[in-house]
Amino acid sequence: MPLMQLTDLTARQLLDGFRTGEFGPQEAARAALDRAARIQPEVNAFVRLTEEEALARAAESERRWRRGEPKGLLDGVPVTVKDILPMRGHPTLRGSRTISPEGSWDEDAPSVARLREHGAVFVGKTTTPEFGWKGVTDSPLTGITRNPYDPSRTAGGSSGGSAAAVALGAGPLSLGTDGGGSLRIPAAFCGIFALKPTYGRVPLYPASAFGTLSHVGPMTRDAADAALLLDVIGAPDARDWSASGPAPGSFAAGLDGGVRGLRVAFSPALGGQVAVRPQVAAAVRRAVAGLAGLGAYVEETDPDFSDPVEAFHALWFAGAARVVQRLSPEQRKLLDPGLREICGQGARLSALEYLAAVDARMDLGRRMGLFHERYDLLVTPTLPVTAFEAGAEIPAGSGLRRWTGWTPFTYPFNLTQQPAATVPVGVDGDGLPVGLQLVAARHRDDLVLRAAHALYEAGLASVPPDRAVAA
């Protein structure tokens, strides 16, 4: 098979090819590395490529496959890792000029360690805004990451490099993080799948300064690959005291239940609180009609909450202030100006103000817990807009102040720690991808993946294959 064709395959398709001997991990690794190098000048998805390590791991994998002794579930599959998560042997700079690349860098994050144990091939580290603070990907360290469908537009963030890499075939799997939408936002803008698992399902270490808002999750071509990846990275790790215990079963094995009989609440605008662009609304509504056609009981209704943005800001800004607390005045001058601004706001919050935000968070969690006694799934647009101009935190002319102004469907479910995924359901008139969000009760990641898989199987989750970037 020509190398460039391998970049169009899912992880499961690659594994099938390794199993039959149609092609091997070394071919897959070379194809992914070649694609990564070709897309980098245009989209800027990578902080660094790890070519030498990737080819060595791929050669080891190929020997195992030839012996009929693959190592784990992902042996030989090319993967990328957001440069927020430590990966042994390589600096983790988090998009910041305040972090020195010097040092031993001798520890993997739990999710990276699980990938290593399962034989995955590391292609490189992907871009992030500084410390993952905002919903687009640009930073003083690495510059602007651009959209695969239109490089003049943003890839979204904060896992924008991972989203662009997966969308353009530089490895079918990527690890991202999500503190307010950072998996789902760029996945929606780039036309791929992403799951923010229930908090604690994927262990996180070192602990995030943003506390229990921050989740680690899969970014993939489809829901089936995400389920496979979650089976790998969802294993316990003693370094995360807040992690869940072992999963109740395989997420990949539970995909085929379909949606027949599921109670689905469709909230097109959170009770009119969100102004959704008409083409986004129409694409989401078509996909929801498809869920009903597959046998789900769909009711148009809204969850019982008002916009929790003030509580989110208090927790997020305080976390940002904690991130930079130990920086010198000289180092602070190197920060993204927007980050520096919210750090100042966070540092001025009192303990009582912070605890009031915690109270608001707990009340939101209670409301959503009761909501899911009536409904198995909540469906919303992932975002009310499609990708806007690259290098901007907010759409031009929107009058918004911060990235949270255009992400009202994502951050509430970081507050509640619920599983939430984005599924591509078409494009707008400019050919830019539209995402649909699926949300379930805490610990029901299986339902989110099952419903998303049903959309893919029915041909309801897709975007046109044409891409603006020649790869």
Chain CA centroid to CA 325, Å: 27
Q: Which of 82, 125, 134, 196 is catalytic?
A: 82
**Secondary structure (3-state) at 224:** helix
What is the Cα–Cα distance from 50 to 58, expressed in whole angstroms?
12
Instruction: Count the Cβ atoms, other than its own, within 10 Å of residue 325.
Output: 11
Task: Please state the pTM of the whole predicted model.
Answer: 0.98
CA triple 447-406-417, angle to 5 deg: 35
What torsion, rounded to 10 degrees, do the Cα atoms 17, 5, 421, 208 define? 90
Strand, helix or coil for residue 456: helix
Q: Cα 14–18–20 angle (5° rounding)? A: 115
Using only C-alpha atoms, the chain has a radius of gyration, in whole angstroms, of 21
CA-CA distances (angstroms) from residue 243 to 88, 197, 218, 237, 310?
A: 21, 12, 17, 7, 27
Walk across the sheet containing 193-196 and list its strands: 46-49, 121-126, 78-82, 173-178, 215-220, 193-196, 420-427, 433-440, 377-381, 263-266, 297-300
Q: Which residue has the tokens 């995402």?
A: 435
For the chain, helix, strand, coil in percent to 5 are 40, 15, 45
Domain boundaries, the chain: 3-457
The tens digit of pLDDT for each residue in 164-181 reads: 999 999 999 999 999 999
pLDDT tens for the chain, 471 residues long, are 777 699 999 999 999 999 999 999 999 999 999 999 999 999 999 999 999 999 999 999 999 999 999 999 999 999 999 999 999 999 999 999 999 999 889 999 999 999 999 999 999 999 999 999 999 999 999 999 999 999 999 999 999 999 999 999 999 999 999 999 999 999 999 999 999 999 999 999 999 999 999 999 999 999 999 999 999 999 999 999 999 999 999 999 999 999 999 999 999 999 999 999 999 999 999 999 999 999 999 999 999 999 999 999 999 999 999 999 999 999 999 999 999 999 999 999 999 999 999 999 999 999 999 999 999 999 999 999 999 999 999 999 999 999 999 999 999 999 999 999 999 999 999 999 999 999 999 999 999 999 999 999 999 998 876 655 645
- CA dist., res. 133 & res. 353, Å (int): 21
Active-site residue identified among 158, 162, 174, 267: 158
The tokens describing 415, both together, are 């507050």
Q: What is the pLDDT of residues 399-431, one digit of tens each?
A: 999 999 999 999 999 999 999 999 999 999 999
Catalytic residue among 96, 111, 182, 208: 182
Q: Indicate the class that CATH gives domain 3-457.
A: alpha beta
Number of H helices, E strands in the chain: 15, 15
- CA-to-CA dists, residue 405 to 14, 70, 274, 411, angstroms: 40, 47, 10, 10
Annotation says 82 is catalytic: yes
